[in-house]
């Protein structure tokens, strides 16, 4: 079994507290030289900044780095994480790459000193007291404090901070420092190592170094924790990432904070230590916007990470999957008015959250002709949906069971307000359809004492119909019972007579058994059915030994025939 304190593994922090040794020459074997690059005014967040301010500052700093620094630096590290390490050897780089690194403020790394005039810079640091901040320019010379300093030097001046460190303590907490101190290169043998950071990272780095000694943080405001979390990811201190994630998770969650957690850099989001925090953020948003029809405008204004979280939820309360598809299109059209961008975001990000097999065939036809979706992708998702609908019931149940553990669910039904139905239609010798409606036991339980559940619409003779299950009182009002009704949607003034029959699977044979039949002349908005379909009280219908639930599912069938 791997030791919990094995070097460089980022394992859980040991119980020992080494705070007494932090920046103490008596307990240190190395000197950490931190070169702090200045940033534009106002780019460094204040300690009491709100989460919104923190997010804006981070986005501005990221955009500035992407604008100012050559894209070539991404060959080594993303611009947001540019850092100077004595870990690299100049001999390993080509001349072209050396030039690109220097243009990205990544100086010469030879001998652990990062400026051209290495001897002068090293001598100056050797003569200065430990921990003193020394402003120097790019050539290593002391910055002049007079009018001769050019305006360009305001942007090139660098502060230097030196700290005594213990390489075993840092290596035990961080694979980054473990490799830095044990890579076998000439640089790793030097007593002094160098890091280069932006001014906005200074406080977070100091807090991180402190944590690696003491297992605690001096500042626990949300913005401070986020800064340290970013630094801990950068320097691979898993224990600190776990600590920050836990503290953030214990703070009250808001829509603002949840969206911010989901918008952290991908390296942070992919870390196992941060997964509980992002899971909590997703759960909060999914629960907050559970009823899509109630919060439609708010959800429509969510950023991409937010809409993805909402569309992923199994508990999303919507009329049907058709409504989910329509809403995803509406969101994409709102946020991406350009057709090319909209097609891209739908194809790569949003369509994977749509459960096409749960959509109606009428809506699937519209998917095929939707100009917002690439035709090849539209054909694929529609064919997959139709193949699923054509599968035998046992095969469908198997696919649903497999899908429950998948990253992106395709077959699992949500908490639809209108339950999906399977329909078989006939035109000859007469217009007829057979409709299958399955209800879970928990759905039926939730109907008590006066609830209703509706099916999706299906069509016969050009008219829309639906089934509805009710928990109601029997005709003598002596007990609750389960009723099933057939209704016609309000559409025009056409009326015609329909013969109908209700049936249910019943144990032990598990075959469909007819429960009620009749005929009715329908007009728009009318419904007909039977208040007590099974002829038993609600308690007997819903009991654990009820013969009407097979593996927790109530299987209902309605057969409709237009009477000539």
pLDDT tens digits, residue range 155-208? Answer: 457 889 999 999 999 999 999 999 888 875 555 557 888 889 999 899 999 999
User: Which regions of 384-451 does DSSP assign to beta strands (E)?
Assistant: 418-419, 421-426, 432-440
Answer whether residue 466 shows pLDDT above 90. Answer: yes
Percent of the chain past pLDDT 70, that is, above it, reads 74
Q: Do the beta carbons of residue 168 and residue 72 sit within 8 Å? A: no
Between CA 34 and CA 65 the distance in angstroms is 19
Confidence category of residue 143, pLDDT binned at 50, 70, 90? very low
**pLDDT at res. 69:** 38
Q: Is the pLDDT of residue 52 over 80?
A: no
Check residue 491 and give its pLDDT: 61
Query: Could you tell me which of 445, 498, 434, 432 has the C-alpha nearest to residue 471?
Result: 445
Q: How far is CA 504 from CA 435, 477, 500, 527, 546, in A?
A: 12, 24, 14, 20, 13
pLDDT for residue 396: 82
Q: 295 near 286, Cβ under 8 Å?
A: no
Which residues, listed in sequence order, are joined to residue 459 by a DSSP beta bridge?
464
Beta bridge mates, 148:
none
What is the average pLDDT value for the chain, to the nearest integer? 79
**Rounded CA separation 254/513 (Å):** 52
Kindly report which listed range (45-59, 266-280, 343-357) carries the lowest average pLDDT score: 45-59
Nearest to 238 by CA among 2, 12, 489: 12
Lowest-confidence region among 170-179, 287-296, 312-321, 485-494: 485-494
* Residue 496, strand partner residues: 522
Q: DSSP secondary-structure letter at 533?
A: T
Instruction: Supply the pLDDT for residue 234.
Output: 93
Asked whether residue 99 carries a pLDDT value surpassing 80, the answer given is: no
Mean pLDDT of 11-29: 75
**How many whole angstroms separate alpha carbon 331 and alpha carbon 537?**
46
Element at 549 (helix H, strand E): strand 549-550
Q: How far is CA 471 from the centre of its chain?
A: 38
Give the span between the Cα atoms of 485 and 470, in whole angstroms: 8
Mean pLDDT lowest among 133-142, 171-180, 199-208, 451-460: 133-142
Q: What's the full length of the chain, in residues?
A: 564
Nearest to 79 by CA among 68, 87, 89: 68
**pLDDT for residue 51:** 72
> Is it the case that residue 388 has pLDDT exceeding 50?
yes
Tokens of 129: 């007291």
E strands, 18-177, in order: 30-37, 134-136, 158-165
- Residue 381 clears pLDDT 90, i.e. is over it: yes
Helical residues (DSSP H) of 404-537, grouped into ranges: 441-445
Structure confidence at residue 41 (pLDDT): 58
Residue 58 has what pLDDT?
Answer: 65
Neighbours of 390 (CB within 10 A): 9
Instruction: With a cut of 80, say whether residue 359 has pLDDT above it.
Output: yes
Please give the C-alpha separations between residue 251 and each of 144, 220, 247, 281, 283, in angstroms, as whole numbers. 47, 10, 7, 11, 15
Percentage of the chain surpassing pLDDT 90? 48
From 143, 152, 141, 172, select the one nearest 15 (Cα to Cα).
Answer: 172
- Residue 445, pLDDT above cutoff 90: yes
- Give the 3-state secondary structure of residue 193: strand
Q: Which residues of 67-105 are buried (b: 16+ CB within 10 A; e: fewer)?
A: eebeeebbebeebbbbbbbbbbeeeeeeeebeebbeebb
Beta strand 553-562 with 549-550: parallel, antiparallel or unpaired?
A: antiparallel
| Distance in angstroms (rounded) separating the CA atoms of residues 260 and 54 | 9
The answer to whether residue 72 scores a pLDDT higher than 50 is: no
* Nearest Cα residue to 384 out of 407, 405, 403: 403
Please, which pLDDT band fits residue 46 given cuts at 50, 70 and 90? low
CA 547 to CA 523: how far, in whole Å?
Answer: 35
Determine the pLDDT at residue 56. 65
Q: Which residues contact 181 (CB under 8 A, 6 or more apart)?
A: 30, 167, 170, 171, 188, 193
Integer Cα distance of 204 and 81 in angstroms: 14
User: Which residues, other chains included, contact 377 with Cβ-Cβ below 8 Å and sequence gap of 6+?
Assistant: 347, 351
Segment among 345-349, 394-398, 442-446 with least mean pLDDT: 394-398
Question: Residue 87's pLDDT band (boundaries 50, 70, 90)?
Answer: very low
pLDDT for 227? 93
Q: Which of 462, 527, 534 is nearest to 503 (CA)?
A: 534
Strand partners, 151: none
The reported pLDDT for the residue numbered 5 is: 42
Q: Say whether pLDDT at 285 is over 70.
A: yes
Mention every residue, 6+ apart, whose C-beta is less than 8 A from residue 356. Answer: 321, 325, 364, 367, 381, 382, 384, 385, 410
pLDDT band at 406 (very low <50, low <70, confident <90, very high): confident
The tokens describing 492, both together, are 């025009």
């Amino acid at each position: 079994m791997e030791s919990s304190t094995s070097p460089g593994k980022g394992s859980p922090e040991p119980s020992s507290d080494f705070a007494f040794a932090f920046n103490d020459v008596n307990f240190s074997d190395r000197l950490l030289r931190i070169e702090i690059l200045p940033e534009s005014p106002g780019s460094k967040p204040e300690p009491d900044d709100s989460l919104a301010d923190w997010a804006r500052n981070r986005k501005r700093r990221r955009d500035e780095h992407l604008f100012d620094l050559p894209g070539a630096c991404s060959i080594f590290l993303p611009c947001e994480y540019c850092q100077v390490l004595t870990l690299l050897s100049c001999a390993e780089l080509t001349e072209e790459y050396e030039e690109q690194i220097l243009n990205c403020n990544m100086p010469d790394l030879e001998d652990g000193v990062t400026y051209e005039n290495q001897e002068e810079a090293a001598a100056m640091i050797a003569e200065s007291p430990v921990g003193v901040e020394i402003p120097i320019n790019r050539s290593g010379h002391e910055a002049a404090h007079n009018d001769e300093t050019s305006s360009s030097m305001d942007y090139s001046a660098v502060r230097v901070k030196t700290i005594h460190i213990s390489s075993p303590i840092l290596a035990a907490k961080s694979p980054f420092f473990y490799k830095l101190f044990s890579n076998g290169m000439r640089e790793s043998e030097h007593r002094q190592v160098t890091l280069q950071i932006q001014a906005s990272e200074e406080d977070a780095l100091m807090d991180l170094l402190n944590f690696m000694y003491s297992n605690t943080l001096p500042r626990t405001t949300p913005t401070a924790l986020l800064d340290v979390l970013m630094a801990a990811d950068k320097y691979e201190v898993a224990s600190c990432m776990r600590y920050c994630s836990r503290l953030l998770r214990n703070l009250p969650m808001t829509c603002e904070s949840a969206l911010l957690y989901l918008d952290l850099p991908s390296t942070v989001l992919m870390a196992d230590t941060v997964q509980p925090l992002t899971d909590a953020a997703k759960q909060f948003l999914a629960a907050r916007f559970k009823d899509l029809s109630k919060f439609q405008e708010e959800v429509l204004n969510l950023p991409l990470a937010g809409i993805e979280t909402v569309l992923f939820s199994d508990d999303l309360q919507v009329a049907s999957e058709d409504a989910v598809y329509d809403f995803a299109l509406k969101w994409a059209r709102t946020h991406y008015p350009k057709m090319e961008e909209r097609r891209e975001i739908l194809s790569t990000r949003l369509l994977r959250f749509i459960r096409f097999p749960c959509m109606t065939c009428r809506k699937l036809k519209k998917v095929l002709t939707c100009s917002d979706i690439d035709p090849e992708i539209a054909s694929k998702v529609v064919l997959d949906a139709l193949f699923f609908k054509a599968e035998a019931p046992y095969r469908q149940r198997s696919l649903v069971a497999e899908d429950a553990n998948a990253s992106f669910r395709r077959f699992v039904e949500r908490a639809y307000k209108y339950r999906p139905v399977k329909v078989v239609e006939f035109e000859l010798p007469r217009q007829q359809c057979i409709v299958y409606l399955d209800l879970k036991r928990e759905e039926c339980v939730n109907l008590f004492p006066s609830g209703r559940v509706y099916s999706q619409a299906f069509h016969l003779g050009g008219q829309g119909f639906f089934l509805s299950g009710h928990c109601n009182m029997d005709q003598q009002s002596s007990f609750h019972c389960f009723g099933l009704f057939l209704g016609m949607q309000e559409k025009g003034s056409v009326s015609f007579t329909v013969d109908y029959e209700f049936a249910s699977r019943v144990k032990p044979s598990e075959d469909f058994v007819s429960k009620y039949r009749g005929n009715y002349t329908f007009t728009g908005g009318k419904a007909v059915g039977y208040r007590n379909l099974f002829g038993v009280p609600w308690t007997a219908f819903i009991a654990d030994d009820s013969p009407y639930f097979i593996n927790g599912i109530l299987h209902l069938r309605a057969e409709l025939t237009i009477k000539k």
